[in-house]
Amino acid sequence: MLKIKKYQPKYINEWNKFILNSNNGTLFHNQQFIAYHINRRFIDCSLMIYYNNKLIALFPAAMKDDVTVFSHPGASHGGLVIKTNLDFSILNDIIKEIDSFYKRKKNKFIFIINTPKIYYKNLHDSLDYLLQWNGYNQEELYISHVVSLLDAPVHRLLSKRKQRYIKNKNHQYKFIESADFNDFYVLLKKNKKIYNALPTHSLEELKKLNALFPNQVKLFLSKNNNTTVGGSLLFFINPRVCLVFYNVVSNQHRSSQLSTFQFYSAMKIAKEQGCEIVDFGVSHSPEKKNPFEPKLSLIKFKEQFGAFGVLRTGYKKEL
């Protein structure tokens, strides 16, 4: 028998422990991660789902506005976190129960961005199928590019041209782990300004995330003659996947192969940490009229590291 319970802070240990053992949980579902925001506050409406008194699923969510439940506005993705080997029929019942719960609360819409399927321990499409079967419509579609670290030694995943650069010129830069978020953030803001955009996180939020999750949120800076000229912020979002959340290069080095060196270095570090996949993030054009337009030059660049496209899908349902 299914039972739904609204999340409360006293359940945080049970919640976070389930994520570690789930089929598709990530750092983005962790309650401490969800609550890290300094200048933004969400009205939490997360749910815990039990079957015969055993926790089998979580639904991280918050109120996006007065009528919309969003899973989750504080992270790149949210969606249902489910146990491994969950029965198809039970998953279907969970979706129905979640809909009924929020409908009773007088919410009018539910918006969900699911964990990308390639992050799953056991890959399946049941959740996407059942959401659509239960009236969820595709509202947004993002293309991200990932590389499998299982396919070959890291250097062989690169195109021949990139391999030659790594072999011959990587002595120009040093890629080192650092806690100097101030230097990094200066470059990040300059990079975002090119596209009339702001960083997703404030400087204080990045420092807070690193303090909360020092083994999962790691900053690496590229140094040239002891000067910071670039950097990458890596999120080890579950044991299988490393996400390159930010990758920045100073204006003076944009015409160099520093981005190549940083991506390659991130791949090596992820491999050393036991990851199977590196996600280079979404490739869209925020400066265009349609911000979901694919950024073809960026996609081509990522493909030269052996990356291939995977979807992040946003679903919406009117209750």
Q: How confident is the model at residue 286 (pLDDT cuts 50, 70, 90)?
A: low
Least confident of 12-16, 163-167, 237-241: 163-167
Could you give the count of Cα atoms lying within 13 Å of 220 in the half-sphere of its Cβ? 26
Average pLDDT of the chain to the nearest whole number: 91
Domains detected in the chain: 2-135 (3.40.630.30), 146-312 (3.40.630.30)
pTM of the predicted protein model: 0.93
Residue 276 pLDDT greater than 90, yes or no: yes
Q: How confident is the model at residue 253 (pLDDT cuts 50, 70, 90)?
A: confident
Residue 257 pLDDT greater than 90, yes or no: no
Q: How confident is the model at residue 171 (pLDDT cuts 50, 70, 90)?
A: low
pLDDT at 7: 96
Residue 132 pLDDT greater than 70, yes or no: yes
Residues 6+ apart with CB under 8 A from 312: 76, 77, 113, 114, 116, 141, 142, 143, 144, 282
Average pLDDT over residues 261-281: 96
In this structure, the number of other CB atoms found within 10 A of the CB of residue 49 comes to 23
Give per-residue pLDDT as tens, 181-224: 999 999 999 888 877 777 888 999 999 999 999 999 999 999 98
Please say whether the beta carbons of 99 and 319 come within 8 A.
yes
**Dihedral through CA 177, CA 253, CA 162, CA 309, nearest 10?**
80
Q: How confident is the model at residue 249 (pLDDT cuts 50, 70, 90)?
A: very high
Give per-residue pLDDT as tens, 29-83: 999 998 876 556 778 999 999 999 999 999 999 988 889 999 988 788 999 999 9
Q: Would you call the peptide bond into 72 cis, given omega within 30 degrees of 0 as the criterion?
A: yes
Of 53, 43, 55, 61, give the one whose Cα is nearest residue 101.
Answer: 61
